[in-house]
Structure 1
Amino acid sequence: MKARVHVMLKNGVLDPQGEAVRHALGAMGFDKVEGVRQGKVIDLELADGASEKDVADMCEKLLANTVIESYSIEMQG
């Protein structure tokens, strides 16, 4: 079984990396980009019997800083 976790900064939290990417894209001529939010994707290989709740617990305790980040989980077969 696999799980994919998407972690992003919450709305309203300054994203300096995203802003740097937006600026670089503008400098390269991609002037129609008005904003960029950068995040991370974490792929987990899970043992049989692991649940989405187990993955959520992992996110709450380690994978995401829930003060400033939100996360979503995709369970895959």
Structure 2
Amino acid sequence: MTKARVIVTLKNGVLDPQGKAIESALGGLGFAGVAGVRQGKVFDVVLEETDPAKAEEALRKMCEQLLANTVIEDFSISIG
């Protein structure tokens, strides 16, 4: 079994209205000094594959086909 974490974030330059709303809400709650917030997604995936290279290849395909919109999002994969 291979455990992995996939983090998906908006690419630099892509507007993030949810991040802006969170930033504004934090200011309204009294958290001063927040200069910016970017929102993203985290996926914890457990694969039956035990070979880390094959697992990463499968996860990359999952990201490209479903988990991330690669036009506007970047993703990173951590195995272990």
TM-score for both structures, normalised by structure 2: 0.90
Gaps of 5+ in 2: none
How much identity, in percent, do the aligned residues show? 59
C-alpha displacement at 1:72, in angstroms? 0.1
Q: Which moved more, 1:7-16 or 1:45-54?
A: 45-54
1:74 corresponds to 2:78: yes
CA distance in 1, matches of 2:10, 2:67: 13
1:39 corresponds to 2:40: yes
TM-score for both structures, normalised by structure 1: 0.94
**Which of 65, 69, 72 is the aligned partner of 1:61?**
65
Which aligned runs of 4 or more in structure 1 are off by greater than 4 angstroms? none
CA distance in 2, matches of 1:58, 1:71: 11
CA distance in 1, matches of 2:47, 2:58: 10
Deviations 1:24-76 (A, max 9, x none): 00011112001000101001010124420110000000000000000000011
1:21 corresponds to 2:22: yes
Task: Give the letter for the 1:63 counterpart.
Answer: L
